[in-house]
Structure formats: C-alpha cells, structure tokens
Structure 1
Amino acid sequence: MSDLFADDPAQPAASDEPAADAPLADRLRPRSLEEVIGQDHVTGPEGAIGRMVAAGKLSSMVLWGPPGTGKTSIARLLAAAVGMRYEAVSAVFSGVADLKKAFAAAETARKAGQRTLLFVDEIHRFNRAQQDSFLPFVESGAVTLVGATTENPSFELNAALLSRAQVLILHRLDAEALGQLLDRAEELEGPLPLTPEAKDALIASADGDGRFLLNQSETLYAANIPEPLDPAALGQFLQRRVAVYDKDREGHYNLISALHKAVRGSDPQAALYYFARMLVAGEEPLFLARRLIRMAVEDIGMADPQALPQCVAAKDAYQFLGSPEGELALVQACIYLATAPKSNAAYKAQKAAWKSARDTGSLMPPMNIVNAPTKLMKDVGYGAGYTYDHDAEEGFSGDNYWPEEMEPQSFYDPVERGFEREVRKRLEYWDKLRGERIG
C-alpha cells in the first residue's frame, strides 16, 4: 500500500470522500484496513494491528517503514476502526505550541468520554525534550500515540518513549503490491498509456514507494499520450527517480554492511550490486575507497598481501582520473577483494595483541634485546647476549624476545589459504628450529 498516502493533518477524516479533483493517490486512499496493500503482516487478522482492532483496543505504536508504504493511512484507518477521535501533527511543521494544543484537546475529549488517537508524522524529527513531552499523556491514557518514521527508532527515539510503544515494521512494497495499485488506478482512470514492458519498468522505478508510483501514473494520464510508451520512451518522458538513500542515516550503513559482507563472503556479483547501489545513490567514491582498504586488511590480509596495494592504487587512480572514469578502478578493487582468498588472522592478531599489551602494562623487554647506547648501560647488562640473526645458522637465532615475567604468546594464526599457507609453513619451521635450539 502506498502511504495512501502522506495526508495533511488538516485534511478530513479517513471516512470522508476526497474531492473529485484531488490527487490520484488521495482518491485511491484505502477506506478500510482490508484495502491496505502490502502490509498484511501487521494489518491482517493475525497481525498486531489486526488483533488490536478485533479486540477494540489500541496500544501506542510506532510505524517504521520507507516512504509511501502506508503509515499515515493506517493511522487514519485505525482511528475509524475502533471509533477513536483522530488528531494529527507533523514534526516537520509543528512545535511545542501545537503539541500543547493537541494534548489539551485530547484531555477535553477524554472528559467527554472520547478517546484520541494522536498521529505524529516524522516523529523522529522531534528533539528529545519534545519526545519526552508525550510521556505523561501516553501514560495517563489521554492519547494513544501512533508515530510514523522512516528512520530506525532505536537510534532516533527516546528509550522511555519506545518502552511505551510497540514498534511495527512496514515493508517496502514489492512488485506484486505495486501492480495491485496500478490495477486500482486503471479501474478508476482507464488504461495507462504504456506497453506491458513499460508498466513493469514504471513499477521498478517506484522502488517500493506506492505514492511515487501513483504520482507518476497521474503525470502519464495528464499528458494525453496518444500511443503507448515503451520502456525507453517512458524513461525519456519521466524523470529518473533518485534512490532512497541518506548518506548519514540507516540506509547508508545497511548498504555498506551489505557490501562488506558480500566481499567477505566471496560473492563478487552481490558486491558489485551493492557497490553500484551506493554510487548510483550519490555516495562519495572516496568513502567507498576507504571502506575497500579496510576490507583488504580486515578480511583478506596476508592471505593475499596484494589486496592492500590494489586498493590503495585504486584510490590513487580515482583521485587522478575523477568520476566517472576513476570509478572503474574502484570496481576493479572491489572485484579483486571479493575474489581473493580470505583471512582475518591479522585482524584477530591485532585485537589479541592489543588486549595483551593493555593487560601486561609496562613489562621490561629481556635484557638481550634492549637498547644500550651508553657504556654504563652496557656495563649493567643492557644488550648482553644478543644474537645477530644474520650471523646465525639459517638466519635464525631462536632467541627469546618476551619479557621475563611473561610466557611467549601466540597472536597470529595464519589460515591454510592463499599466501598465508606459505606463512604458516615458515612459522612452523621456525617453531621447530626454536624448539631444537632451546632443547
């Protein structure tokens, strides 16, 4: 279902008929929860909202989902379904005075025996103090709060407010749900001037946003196009929709996480998809270059020591060439990482060594390997007994390099993959020699 659709709080109640000249999205707004498309997991008989409506009692909730998925419509329909008074405010346009007015009206209605559903659109835009102002009215039952947000409530809403509201996740609309919306539009307005392939392209361009889909459909109807458009002609007629992506918000972190895990999982096809998603959505290429460098040292490391210089070279190439030519260098680095042998042995070794360093404090290294720049230091034993490895048999002395108060540790454990397989052989060989010389 679309946010069938982001209704202005000042508009009439959900049961009122929209004006004949209202936008298509408003005229197709669902009139009951049963008409809501794509959110059966919450609005259906077995969903949280369906069960609340069946019981005739609502609890406060936060509807979390992408744009155009039905948050506003569900709130309106909920109030009508259980006979509650509906009031709405938007965090974009409302301030403290508006909240006080809404709370006062709810208190007055409660005294008259009328319950109030207070819908707060973009609730994450209210600051912490404003969010706290809801608490006493929610606790007293003056309002049943229904908040709507496109942002992760865990990050954007007060813990106290979240503890008093159930978070319900709305899904982006899939192709089937968006197709149902277009069917409703065509029942009302007639066939869209599109070939079947172009209709599929229009649905894909909506990126799960029902409101956007209907707005684009309305544009097509208004243009009085004489012949159906094919996908290429549709792309020329309509502006390309920019992907939903806020570089400082959750979508940013979800995509970079997906990219990193696809590289770690040696899936170059999925890695390229998420890499492209971020670039197409406007991500800064040098941010991706930094992340690729991090992947090279965290997930590949010594299994392929060339991974790091590949990524640094790609970063340099991008800075030299700029966009779009330089992006190919980053793509090459992404493919290299995804297809390289994987090892996090260096990453694990770093964490273990850092912990040991913190735990052991300032233990003195053994006297044979400490610096002895003065005669006095040499006289008291600094540097005594040091074996110059290049003079030892096979270039290996087997000396002990650990503080006397500390047993030798093993932080780095190379895997049996890629170049680290050879490194492991070396370590095992040196351990053998060390054991023989100590023994």
Structure 2
Amino acid sequence: MPTASVSPLRSRWRAFAFIGVEAWWWLVGLFYLCAALAVAPFLLFGIGWLAVPTLVDWLDHLAARARERSAGYARTVAPPHAPVSRGSLSFRERVALLTTGEFRRNGAWLLGHLLLVPFVILLGIGLPLAAVNGLTSAFVWWAMPLDDPQYAPFPVTSWPLAAAAFAIAVACALITWVLLPWLARRTAASTLAVLWPDRVTEMAQQIESLSRSRAAALDAHSSELRRIERELHDGAQNRLVGVVMMIGLAQRSLETNPDAVASYLTKAQDAASDALTGLREMVHDIYPPVLDELGLGGAASTLTSRSGVPCTLDVSRLRRAPAAVESAAYFVLAEALTNAAKYAQASTVAVTLSSESSGAEETVVVRVEDDGVGGAVVGGAGSGLAGVARRAEALGGTLSVASPTGGPTVVKVELPCGF
C-alpha cells in the first residue's frame, strides 16, 4: 500500500514510531561499538581473535534487522538474509572475516548510524516533545508555584512569556508536521542505500540469469525439433513409405496376380498401424495426454508404477500448475527415474511432488531420492542429469543434486510457475 493512501496523522505517527525504534537500536549499536573497542586491544595478544566471529555475526544481525526495518517502513521487500553458521575457524579465516565486502559495508553503516541518528532523534523526537512541553507550559504555568515555574524552554512566569512559549510550541509542531515523514524516509533510504546490494549488480545478475534461461530454452527447443525430425524420418516416414509401396504393389497385382492383392493390403495396413503408433508415441513425448486427463499427480503415479525400481509417491502438497510447467516436471521425473533404474543400483526410490509458495510466486518442486550407490554428477558420463538441468533452466528453474559416494542420491528440481 503506498504511503499516499495513509492518513496524514497516521503517516506521521508511523514516522515517529520508526524514529523511536531507530533510537533504541542506536543504543544497541553503541553497546556493540563499545564491545568491539574493548576487544580490539586484545587482538594484539591473539586472544581477541577468538571473539571475532561472534562480533562479525552480531554486526551482521544488526545490519539485517536495520535492513528489515527500513524496508518495512519504505514498504518494499528487502533481500533475503541467510545467517552464516560458522564452525571452528583458523586464524587466517578469522582475519578474512574482517576483510569481506559485507563486513566493510555493515561497518560503514554502523558508523554512519551512530553519527547521524542522534541528529535524527533530536529533530524527530525532540521537536515533538518540545511542542508538547511548550503547549503544556503555556496553559498550566499559572497553577505552578512562583519558585518552581514551567520551562518551555525558558521559565514561564507571566502571560507574555506563556504566549511566547505557545508560539514556540506551535512553530515546533508545524516543523515536526512537515519534517517528520521526510526525516524517516531519508533515514530508511540511507540505510537501504548502504546495506542493500548494488542495484546495478543485482540487475546484471538478473539479466545474466534470464540470458541463461533463454539460451537453455532455445537449446531445448532445438534439441526437441531435431528429435522430432529424427523420429519422423526414421520412424513414421519409413513406415508410410512402406504403406505407399505396398499399395503400389497391390495396384500392379490387380492385373498380374489378383491373389496377392490381399497380402499386399494386409502389409500396408500393418505398416500404417505401425506408423500411427509411432506418431502417437511422438505426440506423447511432446505433451503426454495423461497430464490433461489426470494432472501431474496422476501422471506421476503412472510413471512410478511403471518404474523398474519400487517407488513411493507423495503428492499431498501438489497443486495444478501451467501446462508447460507440468510437462517439464513430468519429463524431469521420467528422466530421474530412468537414471535411478539404470545407474543407481537402487532398491527403492522416494518421489515427492509439491507446490511451494514464495511471496507472489509459486514453484513446483520435484524431489527424487534413491538408496543407490551415489556418486551422481551433473554432466557426468552416463548420468543423464544434464538433460534434467537443461529442462529446468529452460523454465528458469534450478537443479540440485546431493549424491555422496555410497548414497543416497537426492535430485531436487524447482520449477517456477510464473503466477
């Protein structure tokens, strides 16, 4: 929801609350800086390096929370933050933690936050409080003892001074009304400008990803056309040529050997039936009709029931998806089951098809796990996983394979639905 649709009073209260939260986190950041400065001298003696991973993780946590707060106020979606699990690190790895681009970016944000937020607090919280204090002093000064006057910001001991306090309070209120939303927006924008990954780099990565998907789609399309042409040439075309030849022989036999006509026509009928069967198989390989009839879950059940290895199938969290996605998932599953049967030496295969939502996008996930010998590598000799990867990339999806030697092998394909 855009900020313009929020009432003016509510938007200013929201800005005031945002600055108040930033004031609290400013204190947390100050505590962190004091802790880091306390550890710094001990780096010379070596013992301080033991605390470096913890300090880096704390700073990463502070920066991530700041990015989330600022993105929430700006009503945008912050990039996901995945905390890094650090085990035992060598001295060189601890030194490397302090030289990463992320640490430098987080450190620059913390120093800027500690320097600038006091001014933000002074203007964003001090001015509203000054306005409230001035209005209060202007109206209740007469009820206070002469030796304990109200201060707004000067002692109010007479009606002229009360009027001056009232005017100052009104001025502070007007300045607050105009300044508060701008101040909160600039604070959030500056935080995102420092902590958000470079938009140019992000856009370049997206363009590169789209280029790879487009190249994979063109490659898959070209391979599919070559396969269809090969199957037509080697299969249906040869059989249809046979049909034409048998019919021609039958025509010539009408005059010379009428008894042989029936035999030729029978052979022509058989060749036509074979050609029709081949065409049906080719159409099935382009888009299996079972997907229209039973959906991806039913089609997967058909595949697993025909597998040479006993399979279990879980489609309890699967929802309907676009035809192109279901078709790709079907063939991905077929190739994965073929790989498991040919190369894995597995005794059981567990197949899970599910639909997962991430924000506005839904993804179909195909997961195939076997208890075979492992050692599968994408692009490896005879693995067949390169074809799975191409199908996934053509739709902007991803393939991940976990296959340690000795098994088990887990093949996971994620296909975005685009809706």
Length-normalised TM-score, structure 1: 0.17
Length-normalised TM-score, structure 2: 0.17
Structure 1 or 2: larger strand share?
Answer: 2
Structure 1 or 2: larger helix share?
Answer: 2
Q: Which has the larger radius of gyration?
A: 2
